[in-house]
Structure 1
Amino acid sequence: MTTISSTTILRSRNLAKPDKVLSTLLLRYPRFIHAEFMTHRVMTRNAASSRAIPIKKLIQDVVDNPVVPLFWGKNQPGMQAGEECTSEVGVRNVHLDYDEENTFGRTHDLVSREAAWLEARAHAVEAAQAFADAGYHKQIVNRLLEPFAHITVLVSSTEWENFLELRDDPAAEPHIQVLAREIRKCLEDESTIQDLKPGEWHLPFITPEELASTKRGSPTDPLMFPGHDVIQLSAARCASTSFKTVDGFDMTFEKAEEIFDKLVTSKPIHASPFEHVAEADAFYADKSRWATPQQHGNFVGFRQYRHML
């Protein structure tokens, strides 16, 4: 059922100014709160797209792991429900049996809130399959499934305070409260942070073995001058978030080069995945300024690879 999770992918502290930590997290949460998450502009995000995920794959994800509300608010004025509602709901019951034949049986019942929600999910799956059978594109069909779908989001930021203050709060929407608390757990775990000197790189989804095997400028400090191939691999794996329903970012160097080339040669360029890859900037304490703040983007203390292209 409903999944709300935050997993640390990579966290890096800039030793030039140790209060600046760049955290890359992989989130999974109900798609219906994604719009609220997107209001926080100091975050770099790449999210699974309904336009990119195959219909069959998204239907199966909604069947196997549907979003079901964690809090069933009772109707009242205002944006926030103060108490839960337990009333039964009268809806047409579709007993979802999603198999190779895509068969559905129908009855009519007054059912619990959970059962009614899943019946609505069954209607959506039935309609989505009908549109797919009629030849409609996934950018249309998958919209029917979004209320019951999760979204996978890769997010990187150095500035989390405002998000946590607003969303880990009793007045926030209940599901985003849970997400904020899961993110807070990741950010409070100091053991996940690597220390970077200015010039060293934050490379999400890159293993030490991959880093050691790539072409690079420094044999003693692979994070100082990582080869272009490992930068491409990191950026391509970040980009792959857009077409995945769950995590899993295995990718060869050859495939990464292909994806990288498509991103940089497209018109307009698709550059957002390159924001997660970043270099620790130098800080001039005597002047209280960073060496290249114009390349930080929405980070502080880290030069986004996007702004180096």
Structure 2
Amino acid sequence: MSITAQIVADSISSQGIRLSTLSLKYPRWIHAEFMTHRLFSRNASSSRAVPSKRLSALEREYPLWWGANIPGMQAGAKLSGEQAAKAKAAWDRMADACIEGVAELAALGLHKQWANRPLEWFTSISVLVSATSFDNFFGVRWHPDAQPEIQELARQMFSALHASAPRPLEPDQWHLPYVSADEEQALGLDTARRCSAARCARVSYLNHDGTAPNAAKDLDTFAKLAGDPNSPPRPLHASPMEHQATPDRLANPDHPESWQNPAQHGNFRGWRQYRKMLPREHIAKFTPPA
């Protein structure tokens, strides 16, 4: 079992509002619960993008402990050593059968967006999350009633945040995950924001093949996400542009919530999201295809 949380970028505004971005790894079976928290901006690794052979080689995930079935949503006491060993063996047999079936589907030429799905229940997912508030998440998920694995994720996230010292930022200074201050200076702000968005989209500073990022390739990725301004409009894949943000200014210093640009905060508080500065960042009126 590998449940981890690492700080990618950590910033605080002059109003004392902290924006933190974390890289997470956890069993995919708790991802649906994680996705219910609407204050979070998120991107995640996708089964549709990973070759079946590589996905099959991922570390196998198991429950934190093997608990007895009782009425309700929480497990009872731990299974005995013998019963737990049998449960793990059954888990492994099911996983082995899924891996064999996925290999057969891949050999038949079935696209990975379908072939890979049976692997999801016993593998991990990599997730990038940014937020200005984690308290409700901790209150709900670091609780005895929560699934044990998401309790552990909440503990790991809390520890990572507690151990980190956020970097002070003023308005027009930017929180840019996966882009260092030196790289931002070398690239310029506009390019740095785009590179950050591309890296957030793949949930990694590195490229998918493990090589170091290349700004030109990152800009190509950004163009695929945001579209070409010289081409006909098409839907943006805008969620990776939510992680980049700059502190908002107060319209009235005597009123702590009198922000100058509240419509650009999105799901943040006191921070202007890059996404909200882009044209066509959401579809206001949908017309079905002809």
Asked if residue 80 in structure 1 is aligned to residue 85 in structure 2, the reply is no
Asked if residue 280 in structure 1 is aligned to residue 247 in structure 2, the reply is yes
Q: Which residue of 1 aligns with 2:283?
A: none
Residue type of the partner of 2:3? Answer: I
Distance apart, 1:141 and its partner CA? 1.0
Q: Which residue of 1 aligns with 2:275?
A: 306
The 1-side partners of 2:275 and 2:8 are apart by 19
Asked if residue 11 in structure 1 is aligned to residue 5 in structure 2, the reply is no
Q: Is the 8 A contact 2:198 2:222 kept in 1?
A: yes
Q: TM-score, normalised by structure 2?
A: 0.88
Distance apart, 1:114 and its partner CA? 2.0
The 2-side partners of 1:232 and 1:196 are apart by 19
Question: Cα deviations across residues 99-134 of structure 1 (Å, max 9, x unaligned)?
Answer: xxxxxxxxxxx9622222122211110111111111
Asked if residue 158 in structure 1 is aligned to residue 152 in structure 2, the reply is no
SS in 2 for 1:290: coil
Q: Which residue of 1 aligns with 2:179?
A: 206
The 2-side partners of 1:113 and 1:247 are apart by 35
- Compare the two structures and name the one with the higher strand fraction: 1
Distance apart, 1:81 and its partner CA? 0.7
Q: Which residue of 2 aligns with 1:100?
A: none
Question: Cα deviations across residues 201-232 of structure 1 (Å, max 9, x unaligned)?
Answer: 100001233123123xxxxxxxxxx2x11111
The 2-side partners of 1:71 and 1:245 are apart by 34
Asked if residue 196 in structure 1 is aligned to residue 169 in structure 2, the reply is yes
Q: How many residues align?
A: 270
Query: What is the RMSD computed on CA atoms of the aligned residues?
Result: 2.2
SS in 2 for 1:211: helix
Query: What aligned pairs does 1:113-262 form with structure 2 within 5 A after superposition?
Result: 113-191=87-165, 193-215=166-188, 226=189, 228-241=190-203, 250-262=212-224
The 1:87/1:130 distance shift into structure 2, 3 A limit, reads farther
The 1:177/1:200 distance shift into structure 2, 3 A limit, reads same
Residue type of the partner of 2:263? Answer: Q
Query: What aligned pairs does 1:71-110 form with structure 2 within 5 A after superposition?
Result: 71-86=65-80
The 1-side partners of 2:108 and 2:241 are apart by 38
Q: Is the 8 A contact 1:68 1:148 kept in 2?
A: yes
Structure 2 spans left out of the alignment, 5+ residues:
228-232, 279-290
Query: What aligned pairs does 1:36-75 form with structure 2 within 5 A after superposition?
Result: 36-61=33-58, 65-75=59-69
The 1-side partners of 2:121 and 2:209 are apart by 20
The 1:250/1:155 distance shift into structure 2, 3 A limit, reads farther
The 1-side partners of 2:141 and 2:74 are apart by 13
Q: Is the 8 A contact 1:235 1:273 kept in 2?
A: yes
Distance apart, 1:26 and its partner CA? 0.3
Residue type of the partner of 2:262? Answer: P
The 2-side partners of 1:111 and 1:275 are apart by 44
Give aligned-pair identity as a percent: 43
Q: TM-score, normalised by structure 1?
A: 0.83
The 2-side partners of 1:38 and 1:209 are apart by 33
Q: Is the 8 A contact 2:202 2:208 kept in 1?
A: no
Residue type of the partner of 2:67? Answer: G
The 1:175/1:121 distance shift into structure 2, 3 A limit, reads same
The 1-side partners of 2:226 and 2:208 are apart by 25
Q: Which residue of 1 aligns with 2:230?
A: none
Structure 1 spans left out of the alignment, 5+ residues:
90-109, 216-225
Q: Is the 8 A contact 2:10 2:164 kept in 1?
A: no
Q: Which residue of 2 aligns with 1:264?
A: 226
Distance apart, 1:246 and its partner CA? 8.8
Q: Which moved more, 1:41-50 or 1:200-209?
A: 200-209
The 2-side partners of 1:245 and 1:124 are apart by 28
SS in 1 for 2:118: helix
Residue type of the partner of 1:81? Answer: A
